Amino acid sequence: MWDFLAFIPPQASTAAAPIDMLALFITAVTVFFSLLIALAILYFAIKYRRGNKVDRSNPPHEGIVIETLWTLIPFGIVMVMFVWSTTLYFSSVRAPKEAMEIYVVGKQWMWKMQHPQGRWEMNELHVPVGRPVKLTMTSEDVAHAFFVPAFRLKMDVYPGRYTQLWFTPTKVGTFHLFCAEFCGTNHSGMVGSVIVMEPEDYQQWLNTGNVPMTMASQGEALFRQHGCSGCHSPNSSLRAPLLEGIYGKPVPVQIPRGGVPLERVESTTIIADDRYIHDSIVLPEKEIAAGFRPIMPTFRGRLSEEEVMKLVAYIKSLSGGGNAGPNQGAGVNPAGGPMERRPATGPVTREEIQTRTGFTPGNMGDITTASEATPERGPAFRGQGTNPGGGVMGEGGIIRDPVRNDPAAPRNQGTGTGANGTTPGGAATGGTATGNGRTPQ
Amino acid sequence: MSSTLTPEQESHGGTDDLQPFPTEIPREHYLNVEYGWKSWLFTLDHKRIAILYLISITFMFFIGGLAATLVRLNLLTPHSELLRPQTYNKMFSMHGIVMVFFFLIPAIPAILGNFLVPMMLGAKDLAFPKLNLLSWYLYMAGALVGIGAMVYGGVDTGWTFYAPLSTQYAYGNVALTIVGAFLAGFSSILTGLNFIVTTHKMRAPGLTWFRLPLFIWSIYATSLIQILATPVLAITLLLLAVERIFQVGVFDPKMGGDPVLMQHFFWFYSHPAVYIMVLPGMAVVSEIIANGARRPVFGYKMVAFASLAIAVISFLVWGHHMFTTTQSPYAGMIFSFLSFLVAIPSAIKVFNWTATLYKGSIRLHTPMLYVLGFIGLFTIGGLTGMHLASIAVDLHMHDTYFIVAHFHYIMVGGTVMAYLGGIHFWWPKMTGRLYNEVLGKTSAIIIFLGFNLTFFPQFIVGYQGMPRRYATYAPEFQVLNVLSSAGASILAVGFMLPFFYLLWSLKNGKIAGPNPFNATGLEWQTPSPPPTLNFDRTPVVTIGPYAYNPEADELADALEDVERAREDYEQTRTVIAVTNVQDALAREREEIRERREDARERAQEERDRDA
């Protein structure tokens, strides 16, 4: 039905036709009113041209009726557009649950796509036709935007956060992929193609070429390699939240406020989604699992966004891909949810963190100060799962310990520039871990 | 002759009195009262400062135009044959920064506003003449620093300076360019402040708010935006510079900042700034359309309030630049609604201007051609804004050439057309000379055609998906890009033309006289060029603006025709014809006298009603 408009790009997603329809409506209104005004001007300019003998008596100076009319009619028309466009937008703003996920990292000036099954590609995105696809996107450097004109969709891609774009391709073929947000010198070279394939071709494609391991297994390897398992495992001697089953679930967290001791910060819950896991890895001071000491080192600058995505995929796989399955690892406390109970034995020293993770983290100052402080009674915000007596063997042979928080210990400094040596406590400033692509001058 | 204006003439604008053709300009006026560079660089006369602005802003316009020329030349081919991508990026950044901060924002307020606001108000000068001069120096400092930075090292962030590109990754002199824009911002704030105070405090006796010309209403609304929004830009630019120079994390997530916050800050200024650019254009249009149609602007109060409504709503729509960011969908919905709403006052204005032509006696002089062009192009520009206000369509259109076409229809088709119309309309007042009318009309038509050929194809190539700011592009977009570049070359000719014939008119133009367009408004009640203090006596205003009467003008024209015919016949010494003509003349004169009496009576009634 769109053939009469030859200049319209191909419609290759479910979003395209409704958007074209709305755009066509607005264009029709545009053309109608532009012509109306242009013709009125021409008509008047000819009829009432100087010297033409026409009736010019009593030109109206104002007219309440007509002015109200041409206020209300345009208002009515734009409200039709508003309602139409907003309903259309809201009907498709959330990705369907069954959408297959693909991870996208933009960097100057290329796109890297990572399929969960393991295959990755540069500046090309292969997707099956007829199936909703959800892209989880982030950037290594500046802002980009993922734009596929044939899908009529676009979403900005930012460093340090995840954005999502979903679509259902409807047409097999190769379509333009553009970066739409100006991103520096070779912005116009940050282009590629989206290749929509028949589902069976896609399956075949997925299993050929570079398929080292699934993203989750790659993430698991990273989880060990970077020492995450040193704390986040049932057998660890350090008290850190277990990660099995948390994905997609509400988790209690404390969001530190400057100058307020952590134990006085009330806990709140947020959904443990991709963003939460990402931020917990690179900005661990931002939201602290409630009841735990802020001893997580930051991995900012030590992990690329791609690696973080693999870790996210791994943690997600621990929950059976978003739904907490029954196969939770040993040691989950059935009473208190997945984040309870982890032993902590004494203060965490630099050496200990170093042994566990293999590096001196950027927020080392915070970590050591917090942990070396005198143990106090924990806050009462989460009774379940913590033993107020302290140091008692709990079920499953795990030592419980009251939450320790030192009111005198400086909290993390908000922006997390732990590398600037502003943190007291004589800790290493960890200059290697600033994670800034460019060294500060 | 002007020194002997009667109060009657002052209030009436002399519309129905035929001016004898002036033969000389006044002996002393603001241009020749003093000579030497000091008399210009230290002047406190708002008219001289307007001329200083005119020279510097014209210079900036050609710098920005030069960059645009290179951009369009480069886009002739898909593979960027002329410039390296890096240079291309610097060129479009320079084009945007120069045109927005150093041309569009100051153009009409600082040149025409500076010249006309005190004269339209019947004042001797602006409220703060020294502040006015300071604002020009700030502008010059900003322009020189900005140009210096862009020539020496360049800047490749686009005029939007998005972080973290601008703070961490961009090459070139970003910080220095920011300083330039920062200084120009302060110049803008001071100008706005000056206009607001002058409008409140220095109106001539009898010049009530609803007797103000619509020019003043629009400029007043602009000034409100200037002083309320520009400080936000200033602080945003400062934060950018701090992040870039001192590596303090504000916008870069790697240092704990938030890039979307920067966009919020930026558009909180830059969307109202769109109206800083276009409201003064509307100011000019209202004046010229009344003059060209020889009748009052239809729905004066609606037009005046529409200006204020635009100024207020413009502060609440910035989020429509950010539908594809992480802004919440619900915020997006509100911004979409408000963006549709801001279309309404603009629509009212367009309808009212069009209705002003009804029953007029339309003269298509050069300024009028520019202004009719404005209405057509602004209408298209405004209506295509609705594509972008609707979230669903904007997801496709955002950051494509559709946007480029849309805002050029507003900025060039709107503001630049109005600016040129205004320059042509008040040029005789500023210089005392008339330009060549044929060349004037030619330039207006060339610009109109060239403009459409340049920017209309961009709507299409945008819908096809060509992103903006691309040095290289997919080959299927080439045809439309070539059309666009061809149009740009026509447009360039159109812009060069007025530059030359206006300069030429300075020495060779006919003497204009105080009121060559037979216009109402206080600025026409004083000689051209005006004396330093504008008026010999403070004018007293007794009626509203636009006391035009199309019927009386038609009769006056008829009288002129008959007089001319009589002269012709006298030359041929045909006695009978002369008698006939004299009879006809007598009849015409009788009729004119009667009609004029009627008109006077009507005016009197109106005055009574007003009172």
CA distances (Å), B283 to each of A296, B100, B298, B513, B610, in order? 61, 19, 14, 24, 24
- Per-residue pLDDT of B344-363, as tens digits, reads 999 999 999 999 999 999 99
Instruction: Kindly tell me if the per-residue pLDDT of B214 is higher than 70.
Output: yes
Distance from CA of B57 to the nearest CA of A (A): 28
- Chain A residue with CA closest to B301: the answer is A62
pLDDT band for position A5 (50/70/90)? low
- Per-residue pLDDT of B88-128, as tens digits, reads 999 999 999 999 999 999 999 999 999 999 999 999 999 99
Three-state DSSP string of B252-303: CHHHCCCHHHHHHHHHHHHHHHHHHHHHHHHHHHHHHHHHHHCCCCCCHHHH
Looking at the structure, give the CATH architecture of the domain made up of residues B9-27+45-508. Answer: Up-down Bundle (1.20)
Instruction: Kindly tell me if the per-residue pLDDT of B298 is higher than 60.
Output: yes
Subunit contact A37:B471, Cβ cutoff 8 A: no
**Nearest in space to A109 (alpha carbons), one of B467, B161, B240:** B467
Nearest to B296 among A50, A61, A141 (CB): A61
Instruction: Kindly tell me if the per-residue pLDDT of A261 is higher than 50.
Output: yes
Angle subtended at Cα B309 by Cα B306 and Cα B310, rounded to the nearest 5 degrees: 85
- Residue length, chain A? 441
**B136 touches B49 (CB < 8 A):** yes
Structure token pair of residue B221: 């609304």
Subunit contact B329:A186, Cβ cutoff 8 A: no
**pLDDT of amino acid A335:** 38
Helices (H) and strands (E) in chain A, counts: 8, 13
- Per-residue pLDDT of B473-506, as tens digits, reads 999 999 999 999 999 999 999 999 999 999 999 9
- Chain A residue with CA closest to B294: the answer is A50
Question: Quick one: what percent of chain A has pLDDT higher than 90?
Answer: 36
Least confident of A227-231, A426-430, B21-25, B209-213: A426-430
Least confident of A331-345, B240-254, B436-450, B555-569: A331-345
Distance from CA of A155 to the nearest CA of B (A): 5
**B110 touches B57 (CB < 8 A):** yes
More confidently predicted of B566 and A200: A200
Instruction: Kindly tell me if the per-residue pLDDT of A432 is higher than 70.
Output: no
Residue with token string 């010198």: A185
Subunit contact B255:A415, Cβ cutoff 8 A: yes
What is the four-CA torsion angle of A78, A79, A85, A90, rounded to 10 degrees?
150
Structure token pair of residue B430: 């500023």
- Chain B residue with CA closest to A84: the answer is B390
Nearest to A56 among B260, B393, B554 (CB): B554
**Nearest in space to B340 (alpha carbons), one of B319, B368, B317:** B317
CA distances (Å), B512 to each of A135, B473, B519, B530, in order? 67, 51, 13, 12
Instruction: Kindly tell me if the per-residue pLDDT of A84 is higher than 50.
Output: yes
- Per-residue pLDDT of A282-315, as tens digits, reads 888 888 888 788 888 888 878 888 888 889 888 8
Subunit contact A108:B169, Cβ cutoff 8 A: yes
- Per-residue pLDDT of B313-339, as tens digits, reads 999 999 999 999 989 999 999 999 999
Subunit contact B89:A187, Cβ cutoff 8 A: yes
CA distance A196 to A127: 5
CB contacts of A189 in chain B (<8 Å) are: 85, 472
**A72 touches B374 (CB < 8 A):** no
Contacts for B213 with CB less than 8 Å, ≥ 6 apart: B120, B286, B287, B521, B545, B546
- Chain A residue with CA closest to B458: the answer is A7
Query: Which SS3 state, helix, strand or coil, does residue B225 take?
Result: helix
**Mean of the per-residue pLDDT values of chain B:** 90
**pLDDT of amino acid B22:** 59
Helices B366-389 and B437-463, interaxial angle, to 10°?
10
What is the ipTM, given to two decimal places? Answer: 0.86
Query: Which SS3 state, helix, strand or coil, does residue A333 take?
Result: coil
Distance from CA of A75 to the nearest CA of B (A): 6
**pLDDT of amino acid B452:** 96
Subunit contact B254:A160, Cβ cutoff 8 A: yes
Average pLDDT over residues B570-584: 65
Least confident of A205-219, B225-239, B569-583: B569-583
Nearest to A158 among B247, B260, B293 (CB): B260
Which run of H or E residues covers position B503? helix B478-508
Nearest to A67 among B299, B354, B384 (CB): B299
Nearest to B357 among A45, A81, A152 (CB): A45
Question: Which of A8, A64, A144, A154 is the mutation pick for testing B, counting most B CBs within 10 A?
Answer: A154
**Which of A105-119, A393-407, A418-432, B478-492 has maximum average pLDDT?**
B478-492
- The CATH number that domain A100-206 falls under is 2.60.40.420
- The CATH number that domain A214-435 falls under is 1.10.760.10
Query: Which strands sit side by side in the sheet containing A250-254, from one edge to the other?
Result: A267-271, A250-254, A288-289
Query: Which SS3 state, helix, strand or coil, does residue A252 take?
Result: strand
- Chain B residue with CA closest to A81: the answer is B390
CA distances (Å), B181 to each of A259, B248, B252, in order? 37, 21, 21
DSSP conformational letter for A377: P
Nearest to B393 among A60, A75, A85 (CB): A85
CA distances (Å), A271 to each of A246, A250, A252, A289, in order? 9, 4, 9, 12
Average pLDDT over residues A121-149: 94
CA distance A277 to B589: 91
What is the four-CA torsion angle of B76, A143, B411, A67, rounded to 10 degrees?
130
Subunit contact A19:B395, Cβ cutoff 8 A: yes
Average pLDDT over residues B526-538: 90
**A124 touches A112 (CB < 8 A):** no
- The residues facing B140 across adjacent strands are none
Amino acid sitting at position A371: S
- Per-residue pLDDT of A145-170, as tens digits, reads 999 999 999 999 999 889 999 999 99
Average pLDDT over residues A372-384: 37
Distance from CA of A66 to the nearest CA of B (A): 10
CA distances (Å), B272 to each of A93, A127, A406, in order? 28, 42, 49
Subunit contact A78:B398, Cβ cutoff 8 A: no
Instruction: Kindly tell me if the per-residue pLDDT of B299 is higher than 80.
Output: yes
- Chain A residue with CA closest to B290: the answer is A61
Subunit contact A50:B157, Cβ cutoff 8 A: no
Least confident of A368-382, B370-384, B452-466, B505-519: A368-382
CB contacts of B362 in chain A (<8 Å) are: 44-45, 48-50
**Mean of the per-residue pLDDT values of chain A:** 76
- The residues facing A105 across adjacent strands are A112, A138
**pLDDT of amino acid A411:** 38
CA distance B544 to A62: 14
Distance from CA of B138 to the nearest CA of A (A): 30
Nearest to B256 among A56, A81, A415 (CB): A415
Contacts for A349 with CB less than 8 Å, ≥ 6 apart: A368, A371
pLDDT band for position A268 (50/70/90)? confident
CB contacts of B341 in chain A (<8 Å) are: 78
**B67 touches B89 (CB < 8 A):** no
Subunit contact B299:A63, Cβ cutoff 8 A: yes
CB contacts of A66 in chain B (<8 Å) are: 355
Instruction: Kindly tell me if the per-residue pLDDT of A325 is higher than 60.
Output: no
**pLDDT of amino acid A362:** 58
Subunit contact A187:B473, Cβ cutoff 8 A: no
Nearest to B362 among A34, A48, A176 (CB): A48
CB contacts of B361 in chain A (<8 Å) are: 48, 50, 56
CB contacts of B249 in chain A (<8 Å) are: 415, 417
CA distance B441 to B445: 6
Burial class, B474, CB count within 10 angstroms (exposed 0-12 / middle 13-18 / buried 19+): middle
Residue with token string 């060294």: A439
**A378 touches A386 (CB < 8 A):** yes
CA distance B427 to B421: 10
Average pLDDT over residues B425-444: 95
Structure token pair of residue B388: 């972008």
pLDDT band for position A209 (50/70/90)? confident
Subunit contact B158:A187, Cβ cutoff 8 A: no
More confidently predicted of B3 and B462: B462
Least confident of A55-69, B43-57, B513-527, B552-566: B552-566
**pLDDT of amino acid A282:** 86
Amino acid sitting at position B551: E
Average pLDDT over residues A181-193: 93
Subunit contact A9:B463, Cβ cutoff 8 A: yes
**pLDDT of amino acid B486:** 96
Residue with token string 């594509």: B387
CB contacts of A26 in chain B (<8 Å) are: 386-387, 390, 393
Instruction: Kindly tell me if the per-residue pLDDT of A69 is higher than 50.
Output: yes
- Chain A residue with CA closest to B606: the answer is A61
Give the start-end residues of each E strand in A209-343.
250-254, 267-271, 288-289
CB contacts < 8 A, A to B, total 292
CA distance A79 to B390: 10
Nearest to B164 among A22, A45, A159 (CB): A159
Structure token pair of residue B530: 């005006």
Subunit contact B393:A19, Cβ cutoff 8 A: yes
Question: Which of B351, B394, B479, B607 is the mutation pick for testing A, counting most A CBs within 10 A?
Answer: B351
CA distance A124 to A120: 9
Instruction: Kindly tell me if the per-residue pLDDT of B201 is higher than 50.
Output: yes
Ramachandran assignment for B152, one of left (phi > 0), alpha (psi -120 to 50 degrees), beta (any other):
beta
Distance from CA of B222 to the nearest CA of A (A): 22
Distance from CA of B521 to the nearest CA of A (A): 18
User: Strands A267-271 and A250-254, how do they pair?
Assistant: antiparallel
More confidently predicted of A78 and B33: A78
Structure token pair of residue B285: 């249009």
- Per-residue pLDDT of B156-193, as tens digits, reads 899 999 988 998 888 888 989 999 999 999 999 999 99
Contacts for B304 with CB less than 8 Å, ≥ 6 apart: B210, B212, B214, B217
Distance from CA of B68 to the nearest CA of A (A): 18
- Per-residue pLDDT of A244-255, as tens digits, reads 888 888 888 888
CB contacts of A48 in chain B (<8 Å) are: 293, 357-362, 550
**pLDDT of amino acid B566:** 76
Domain ranges of chain A: 100-206, 214-435
Nearest to A142 among B164, B301, B396 (CB): B164
More confidently predicted of B586 and B285: B285
CA distance A212 to A204: 15
Question: Which of A185, A275, A303 is the mutation pick for testing B, counting most B CBs within 10 A?
Answer: A185
**pLDDT of amino acid A58:** 83
**pLDDT of amino acid A416:** 35
First to last CA, chain A: 59
Distance from CA of B350 to the nearest CA of A (A): 8
Instruction: Kindly tell me if the per-residue pLDDT of B27 is higher than 70.
Output: yes
**pLDDT of amino acid A332:** 36
**pLDDT of amino acid A360:** 62
CA distance B316 to B342: 9
CA distance A116 to A100: 9
